[in-house]
Amino acid sequence: MNILILGGGGREHALAWAIAQNPKCDQLFCAPGNAGIAQVADCVNINPEDGDAVVDFCADESISFVVIGPEAPLAAGVADTLRAAGILTFGPSAAAAQLEVSKNFTKEICDACGADTAAYAHFTELEAAKTYVREQGAPIVIKADGLAAGKGVVVAMDLETALTALDDMFGGSFGEAGAEVVIEEFMEGEEASFFVLSDGENVLPMGTAQDHKRAFDGDQGPNTGGMGAYSPAPVMTAEITEKALNETIIPTIKEMAKRGTPFQGVLYAGFMIKDGQPRLVEYNVRFGDPECQALMIRLGAQVLDALLACAEGNLADARINWADDHALSVVYAADGYPGAYEKGTEIAGLEGLDDGSKLHVFHAGTAAKDGKTLATGGRVLAITARGDTLKQAHAKAYATIEKIDWPEGFYRTDIGYRAL
Ligand code: AMP
Ligand code: GLY
């Protein structure tokens, strides 16, 4: 079959790498893709958020399966447009994507299905929000309701920070996303992510991971989209994983179905774990980046079968074959990220690094020009390795990153430290 992936980051490169290995995949396309993805797929210049353009392309190239990577096309209803055109699609409807698009929606779902999460209140007016924050005291968590590219959350350790965050959000610093605000109880514990496919009814776990959000070593510096990740997450023991499934994820899937908006795609659940209890921090409706890179190098070609079963509503019969392995992904970012950074700098030394199924340099923000690889984004590469132990994966990833010659880039040297 011919397959189209929407998106152009490290997550989509990892998806493309895994899908291309499956014999069911004839021709693979990616829109818009990047220089790394171009090594395994035909990159096409269509806007992934323009559903009609995507449908036209699918007709022209006889595409029979579309995999949607990022949240923006999902929020824009591209999965709905594709399904209405009769095209098999991996990714939730716009209605089901509300689980990521609106934090208040997720809180309401948790209330309705009894999932354990932080206590919260929802506000549309600044003064009422401030009164509530003063009553509750710090620490407290302030969240812009809508999509804010991972930047709409302020974990306030003191009252002043919380009140300033409210002024900023209601003052428009996140645009429409901040017009509504969710205020949450501060949860302590260790965070981990759990990835589960659902066809609307059945669920299939795809693995656990932990990421590093801060830019610099020792979890210092500004928040980013993620500077590295590893899988599995040791804190997600079999017992906690069962609890997360039975007390949060399955009830959520049932509640979404009951409302007539079944969730079909990958549900990425962030949990805070303390004293053996997982509590939901948030949902995303897509794979994490760079968590996806660590998951894909562990799963390989079977990913396509799982994504197809998910889209076809056949997850009840689907299985994942797990190797007892570990993966780790280190992000190489442009100096200055997550703030302003230079574009167009040259990356050398990328040849000959990839090593079958154990090591792959996934591209997140690159372009090819005159035979050179140029950095075009903030997060640029994700060096991802797999091993029998996390230590092996760690050693392999870091030995590889040292061979890459990119003076204008930086990476964290301590990815995975909590688990090592
Ligand atoms: P979110 O975008 O909702 O995942 O929030 C970003 C980060 O803020 C999370 O990964 C947590 O580290 C932190 N966070 C969010 N909500 C809470 C909470 N209720 N208590 C403690 N930390 C939180
Ligand atoms: N790495 C975090 C995310 O993809 O949202």
**pLDDT tens per residue across span 155-193:** 999 999 999 999 999 988 777 766 789 999 999 999 999
Ligand 1: residues whose CB is within 6 Å?
Answer: 118, 141, 153, 155, 184-187, 191, 270, 281-282
pLDDT of amino acid 150: 63
Q: Which atom of ligand 2 is nearest to the CA of 211?
A: 1
Q: How far is CA 45 from the centre of its chain?
A: 23
At residue 177, the pLDDT reads: 62
pLDDT of 383 reads: 98
- The residue assigned the tokens 């984004």 is 377
Q: Which of 210, 289, 293, 328 to mutate to test the pocket of ligand 2 (most atoms within 8 A of CB)?
A: 289
Nearest ligand 2 atom to alpha carbon 284: 5
Peptide bond into 338 cis (omega under 30): yes
What pLDDT, on a 0 to 100 scale, did the predictor assign at position 333? 98
Give the whole-angstrom CA distance, residue 410 versus residue 176.
33
- The domains found in the chain, sorted by start residue, are 2-92 (3.40.50.20), 125-179 (3.30.1490.20), 190-317 (3.30.470.20), 326-410 (3.90.600.10)
Q: Which ligand is nearest to the CA of 284?
A: 2
Identify the pLDDT of residue 248.
98
* pLDDT computed for residue 147 by the predictor: 77
Sign of CA dihedral 308, 329, 216, 374: negative
**Would you tell me how many other CB atoms lie within 10 Å of the CB of residue 147?**
20
Select from 350, 420, 399 the least CA-distant residue to 13.
350
Contact between residue 272 and residue 187 where contact means Cβ atoms under 8 Å apart: yes
- What is the per-residue pLDDT for 116? 96
| Omega prior to 23 cis, within 30 of 0 | no
Q: What is the 3-state secondary structure (H, E, C) of 17-47?
A: HHHHCCCCCCCEEEEECCCCHHHCCEECCCC
Query: Residue of the nearest CA to atom 3 in ligand 2?
Result: 288
Q: What does 85-132 look like in DSSP terms, one character per residue?
A: TT-EEES--TTTTHHHH-HHHHHHHHHHHT--B--EEEESSHHHHHHH
Tokens standing for 36?
């790394």
Q: How far is the centre of ligand 1, averaged over its atoms, from the C-alpha of 183 (Å)? A: 11
pLDDT digits (tens, 9 = 90+) for 103-160: 999 999 999 999 999 999 999 999 999 999 999 999 999 998 877 766 788 999 999 9
The pTM score is 0.95
pLDDT for 34 equals: 97
**Within the chain, which residues score under 70 in pLDDT?**
149-150, 177-178
pLDDT of residue 356: 83
Peptide bond into 70 cis (omega under 30): no
| Mutational test site, ligand 1, from 157, 169, 214, 282, max ligand atoms within 8 Å of CB | 282
* The pLDDT of residue 37: 98
